[in-house]
């Protein structure tokens, strides 16, 4: 019987990475926690950025975590979807802007 690579319940075990490398794990989680604190950006803005990036990274754990986090902050589903579109626009833009490279090459080889 095959098992899926991703198990939603594994997200709860994230903290356990510290058990096999305590110093680095602890430093990571301290850093992570600090990043999401209220700063020049609000915690709410950071949560929306995280949600968009979770999608461009296509990390299922992050998507679960930041969907819940944005809901907890009272962010509406319309706002969540718009944030994902920002991520998608950058992803597609990043693909398409390379079209210029293709055009340059075509012009050089076959101009």
Cα–Cα distances in Å, from 32 out to 36, 48, 53?
A: 7, 15, 15
Binding residues for other proteins, total number by CB under 8 A: 11
Q: Does 2 bind other proteins (CB under 8 A)?
A: no
How far apart CA 87 and CA 69 sit, in angstroms, is 18
Would you tell me how many other CB atoms lie within 10 Å of the CB of residue 84?
A: 17
Q: Does 92 bind other proteins (CB under 8 A)?
A: no
x/- contact string, 39-78, with other proteins (CB under 8 A)?
---xxx-----------------------x--xxxx-x--
Of 33, 30, 71, 74, nearest to 51 by C-alpha is 71
Q: The tokens 């609000």 sit on which residue?
A: 42
- Per CB under 8 A, contacts with other proteins among 6-35 are 12
Q: Does 91 bind other proteins (CB under 8 A)?
A: no
When the beta carbons of 21 and 76 are compared against other proteins, the nearer one is 76
Binding-site ranges for other proteins (CB under 8 A): 12, 38, 42-44, 68, 71-74, 76
């Amino acid at each position: 019987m095959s098992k899926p690579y991703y198990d939603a319940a594994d997200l709860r075990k994230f903290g356990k990475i510290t058990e096999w490398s305590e110093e680095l794990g602890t430093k990571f989680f301290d850093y992570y926690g600090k990043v999401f604190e209220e700063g020049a950006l609000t915690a709410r803005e950071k949560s929306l950025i995280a949600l968009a990036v979770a999608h461009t990274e296509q990390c299922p754990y992050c998507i679960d975590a930041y969907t819940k986090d944005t809901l907890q902050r009272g962010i509406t589903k319309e706002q969540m979807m718009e944030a994902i579109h920002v991520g998608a626009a950058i992803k597609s833009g990043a693909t398409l802007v390379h079209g210029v490279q293709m055009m340059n090459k075509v012009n050089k080889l076959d101009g």
